[in-house]
C-alpha cells in the first residue's frame, strides 16, 4: 500500500536530520511531553472503562506512534496550538525555504520551541474578573456593617432635652411621650365646650399643649433630639361641632374729639358674624368671626402754643369782583387765607382768573363741592344725595381747580353747610385728607352789618378757624368788616395763615 504523500515528506525530513542532532532530540522531547499530557487527560476515562492506562504508547495527532520514528511535528503542533485549532496556518520563520514547491515550511529546528510556548500559554490561564469583583463586594459589605453598627450605637444614646426649663434625659424611642414619662409631668386635658362656651364634657378637649423649639406639637410620638427645648402644659378647650350661618357686620364711623378739623382715618371694611347651632348640645349662639374695620373721624384742634395765628376761610366763590376785592384787602395787610371754591363758579364770571391770582399771591385753593349740593342735595347737604352723587361733587370740584392751575388739587375739603355726617364720611372719606369746619362763624351770610361781622372776627384766638364768604350773594359787608378787623388783630400780634400751614402744628 503506498504511503500518503505527507508521510513520505515527513520521512524524508526525518532522514535528513541526524539522530544525535540537537534539533532531533528537542523535537522528540516535545513530542513526549504532548503524549504524557494526553495520557494524563485520558487516564480517568480509561480507568472508568476498565482499560489499563499505557504510558509507553499513545496516539499523536490521532495516529499510533511508531517506535524509532519522530511524529509528524507540523501536524501535532497545529492540534495543540490555539491558532492551529482555529484553522490558522503555521507562522513562517524569516528564513523559511521552499521545499518541494508545495508552500513554505516551518523551520524544523524552531518548531518544538514554538509549540512549547503555545502550550504553556494555554496552561497558564489568567485570574477570572469575577473573583476580583467578589473581593470588592466583600469589602463594601464589611464597611456597611461597620456603619450600621455606628448608627445603631448612636441611636441607642439618650437625648438630653430641656423640658419646661429642666434638663431631662430621654431614653427609648426618644419621643415627647418618653420625655413626659421621664419628667413625671402629667398635663391635664381641656374640656369640650358648647357653642355658647359652657362645658359639655370635662377632660374631652385637647390632651396637652406642647411646643418643640417654638413649633406646636400635637402628637406624643413626635421625635426629640438632644438640645431640643420643650414646653408642655395643660390642654385647651375644644368647641363642639356645629352648623354655622355667616352674616355681615357693617362697618361704621367712629368719632373722637371735638375739634374743627375732621381727619378721616382707616378704611371701612365689613366684619363677619356666625350664628352657630351645636350638634351635641343643640344650643344656638352668635360669634364674631371677624371684627369690622371702622373709619374713624378724628375731630382735632391745632396746638399752636404761643403762636398767635388765625386761619381765615372764604366759601362759595369765586364771585366776580367781590373775590378780587377780598384779595385786595388781604394783600394790603399781608394776610393769607384759604378759599373753598365751588366748581361751577370757577367756570363762569372770569372765575379762573381769580383762582390764578389767589394761587399766585400765596393763598390756598380747595374745593367746596362742584355745585354746592344742588339738585337732590337741596343746595346744602351731600347727605341727601346718593353715594355716587356725593363722590362726583368732590371729584368734579377738584377737577375744576386742576383745569385752571395745571396741578393736582388739594384734598382738603369743606362740605356744603358743614354737613359731614356718617353717611357722607363713608362715601367721600377715601377721597379726602380732611374736612374743615370752623370755630367762629362770622354770620356774614346773614348780613348783620360790617361792625357785627368785624366783632366776630376779632373774637378769634390762637389757632382759630374763621368762616366767611366771598360768594353766594352780596358780600360788601364782609369786605368792609375785613378792613376793620385785620388791622386790630395785627396790632395784637396775630398772623393770618392757610389751612395747610395750620395743619403743620400738632393736632389733638
What amino acid positions are annotated as catalytic residues? 315, 469
Contact 465, 502 (CB under 8 A): yes
C-alpha distances in Å from residue 346, one per residue of 87, 339, 349, 351, 353: 120, 12, 8, 4, 9
CA within 13 Å, CB half, 51: 10
Distance CA 359, CA 351 (A): 13
Distance CA 150, CA 146 (A): 6
Distance CA 318, CA 353 (A): 9
Q: Is the peptide bond before 424 cis (omega within 30 degrees of 0)?
A: no
Contact 317, 341 (CB under 8 A): yes
Contacts of 206-211 spanning 24+ positions with Cβ under 8 A: 206/235, 206/236, 206/237, 206/238, 207/235, 208/232, 208/233, 208/234, 208/235, 209/233, 209/234, 209/235, 209/236, 210/176
User: Among positive and negative, which fits the CA dihedral 251, 256, 258, 262?
Assistant: negative
Residues in a beta bridge with 436: 261
C-alpha distances in Å from residue 224, one per residue of 30, 164, 178, 233, 243: 80, 14, 9, 17, 39
- 391: phi then psi, degrees, rounded to nearest 5: -65, -40
* C-alpha cell of residue 439: 370755630
Instruction: Give me the helices (H) in 52-128, please.
Output: 73-80, 82-85, 111-123
Distance CA 136, CA 472 (A): 107
DSSP string, 115-151: HHHHHHHHHSPPPPHHHHHHHHHHHHHHHHHHHHHHH
Amino acid at each position: 500500500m503506498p504511503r500518503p504523500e505527507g508521510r513520505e515528506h515527513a520521512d524524508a525530513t526525518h532522514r535528513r536530520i541526524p539522530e544525535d542532532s540537537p534539533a532531533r532530540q528537542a523535537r522528540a522531547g516535545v513530542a513526549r511531553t504532548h503524549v504524557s499530557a494526553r495520557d494524563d487527560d485520558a487516564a480517568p476515562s480509561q480507568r472508568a472503562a476498565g482499560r489499563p492506562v499505557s504510558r509507553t504508547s499513545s496516539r499523536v495527532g490521532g495516529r499510533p506512534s511508531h517506535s524509532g520514528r519522530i511524529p509528524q511535528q507540523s501536524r501535532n503542533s497545529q492540534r495543540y496550538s490555539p491558532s492551529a485549532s482555529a484553522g490558522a496556518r503555521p507562522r513562517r520563520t524569516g528564513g523559511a525555504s521552499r521545499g518541494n514547491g508545495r508552500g513554505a515550511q516551518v523551520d524544523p529546528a524552531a518548531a518544538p520551541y514554538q509549540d512549547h510556548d503555545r502550550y504553556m500559554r494555554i496552561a497558564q490561564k489568567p485570574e477570572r474578573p469575577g473573583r476580583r469583583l467578589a473581593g470588592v463586594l466583600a469589602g463594601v459589605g464589611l464597611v456597611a456593617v461597620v456603619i450600621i453598627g455606628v448608627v445603631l450605637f448612636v441611636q441607642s444614646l439618650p437625648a438630653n432635652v430641656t423640658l419646661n426649663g429642666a434638663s431631662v434625659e430621654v431614653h427609648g424611642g426618644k419621643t415627647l411621650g418618653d420625655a413626659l414619662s421621664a419628667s413625671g409631668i402629667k398635663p391635664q386635658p381641656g374640656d369640650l365646650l358648647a357653642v355658647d362656651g359652657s362645658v359639655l364634657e370635662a377632660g374631652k378637649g385637647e390632651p396637652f399643649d406642647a411646643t418643640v423649639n417654638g413649633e406646636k406639637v400635637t402628637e406624643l410620638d413626635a421625635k426629640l433630639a438632644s438640645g431640643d427645648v420643650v414646653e408642655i402644659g395643660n390642654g385647651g378647650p375644644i368647641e363642639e361641632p356645629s352648623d354655622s350661618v355667616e352674616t355681615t357686620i357693617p362697618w361704621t364711623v367712629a368719632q373722637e374729639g371735638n375739634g374743627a378739623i375732621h381727619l378721616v382715618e382707616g378704611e371701612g371694611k365689613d366684619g363677619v358674624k356666625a350664628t352657630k347651632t351645636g350638634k351635641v348640645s343643640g344650643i344656638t349662639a352668635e360669634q364674631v368671626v371677624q371684627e369690622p374695620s371702622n373709619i374713624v373721624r378724628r375731630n382735632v384742634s391745632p396746638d399752636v402754643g404761643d403762636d398767635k395765628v388765625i386761619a381765615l376761610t372764604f366759601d362759595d366763590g369765586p364771585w366776580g369782583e367781590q373775590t378780587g376785592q377780598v384779595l385786595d384787602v388781604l394783600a394790603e395787610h399781608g394776610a393769607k387765607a384759604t378759599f373753598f371754591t365751588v366748581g361751577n363758579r370757577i367756570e363762569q364770571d372770569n372765575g379762573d382768573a381769580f383762582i390764578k391770582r389767589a394761587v399766585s399771591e400765596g393763598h390756598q385753593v380747595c374745593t367746596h363741592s362742584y355745585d354746592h349740593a344742588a339738585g337732590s342735595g337741596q343746595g346744602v347737604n351731600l347727605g341727601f344725595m346718593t353715594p355716587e352723587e356725593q363722590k362726583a361733587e368732590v371729584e368734579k370740584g377738584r377737577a375744576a381747580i386742576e383745569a385752571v392751575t395745571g396741578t393736582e388739587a388739594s384734598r382738603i375739603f369743606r362740605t356744603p353747610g358743614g354737613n359731614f355726617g356718617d353717611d357722607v364720611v363713608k362715601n367721600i372719606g377715601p377721597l379726602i385728607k380732611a374736612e374743615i369746619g370752623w370755630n367762629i362763624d362770622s354770620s356774614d351770610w346773614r348780613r348783620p352789618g360790617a361792625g357785627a361781622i368785624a366783632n366776630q372776627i376779632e373774637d378769634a384766638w390762637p389757632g382759630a378757624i374763621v368762616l366767611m364768604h366771598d360768594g353766594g350773594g352780596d358780600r360788601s359787608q364782609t369786605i368792609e368788616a375785613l378792613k376793620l378787623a385785620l388791622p386790630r388783630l395785627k396790632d395784637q400780634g396775630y398772623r393770618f395763615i392757610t389751612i395747610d400751614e395750620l395743619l403743620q402744628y400738632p393736632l389733638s
